[in-house]
A = this chain, B = another copy of it.
Amino acid sequence: MTVVADKPELLTEAFQNIQSDVDSAFDAFLPVPQDSRARLVEAMRYAAIGAGKRVRPLLVVATADLFGVNRSAAVNAGCAVEAIHAYSLIHDDLPCMDDDELRHGKPTVHRAFDEATAVLAGDCLHALAFDILTQPDTSTDPFVRAELVGALAKASGHDGMAGGQMMDIVAGEQDYDLRQVTRLQQLKTGALLAASVEMGAVLGRVPPEGRTQLRAYARDIGLSFQIADDLLDVEGDEGKAGKALRKDEAQGKATFVTLMGVDAARRQAGMLVEQAADHLASHGDDARLLIELARFIVKRDH
């Protein structure tokens, strides 16, 4: 067991800082053009600025911090992951996908703008992610830039996030067992969380053979994140969540909660978080932010 003490105030401050830094960075990346693309960029800004907890950027920054990486470089890489996350939410919310009306407590992009603009704004945030990663501000070392792009492209495509989303779409027609639900979630949610940690390590010039413990941490928090999401879907408050809940049950989808029950799911999530913390033992007190973040992931109410 890790000996690092609970320090929730550390996490609160870290969230405030990353939310402010990510918002400022997107504001700078996305000036509104003086032509008929204005509506498109406004939609990108609506989705990317002032929304979301910024768990993924914080993972990038907190991992990069272990290795003394320049903060603005890590914030840039965090924005790239967040741009991918934001595009995926826009597309997942579309009428032909989950048909959601609310996200982060405000109308979804296709409701606030229109469907065509939502599709394009998602596509443009997708491209922006890779544009950001190839800027010298993110890293002056092209090897690092290329490795960041590779990690993010792999984690977001058909062998990652979007592949998991496809498995989720057909979940209602299929009787997934615990192994298949775990696989689905490793792709849909876990891949991008793992990429966040990986990219922090890439920025820190940690060679692949030195990333074993960080990857184990990322795998455990990815799974506990999704178990916590499934618990929130059953027990959460729609007002706090800022989106519709209890959709899995209505669609007859297997989740960790339907397969394991509420109590076992909660125990499993708690166990995974402590296991995640143990993987970082060699970093001692330096890892306290990553450990607080892991604990937050299962305790959060939204």
Contacts and interface: CB of A to CB of B under 8 A. Distances in A.
Interface of A: 30, 33, 35-37, 39-41, 44, 87-88, 91, 94, 96-97, 114-117, 119-120, 122-124, 126-128, 130-131, 133-135, 142-143, 145-147, 149-150, 152-154, 156-158, 160, 162-163, 165-167, 169-171, 174, 180, 183
A27 to B, nearest CB: 15
Given A126-B126, A131-B157, A153-B134, A119 B96 contact: yes
13 contacts: A36-B170, A91-B120, A91-B123, A117-B169, A122-B123, A123-B123, A124-B162, A128-B158, A130-B149, A130-B153, A131-B150, A146-B146, A146-B149
Given A37-B163, A96-B115, 12 more contacts: A33-B163, A36-B170, A36-B171, A96-B114, A116-B169, A120-B165, A120-B166, A123-B123, A130-B153, A134-B146, A134-B147, A149-B149
Given A37-B163, A39-B166, A116-B169, A130 B130 contact: yes
A35 B171 CA distance: 12
B36 A127 contact: no
A36 B174 contact: yes
A150 B134 contact: yes
Contact of A142 (B124, B143, B153): B143
B124 A158 contact: yes
Nearest to A118: B96
Contacts of A133: 149
A149 B123 contact: no
Copies of this chain present: 2
A78 to B, nearest CB: 17
A258 B216 CA distance: 61
A145 B75 CA distance: 22
A82 to B, nearest CB: 16
B117 A94 contact: no
A263 B193 CA distance: 57
Nearest to A141: B142
B120 A40 contact: no
A35 B115 CA distance: 30
B127 A158 contact: yes
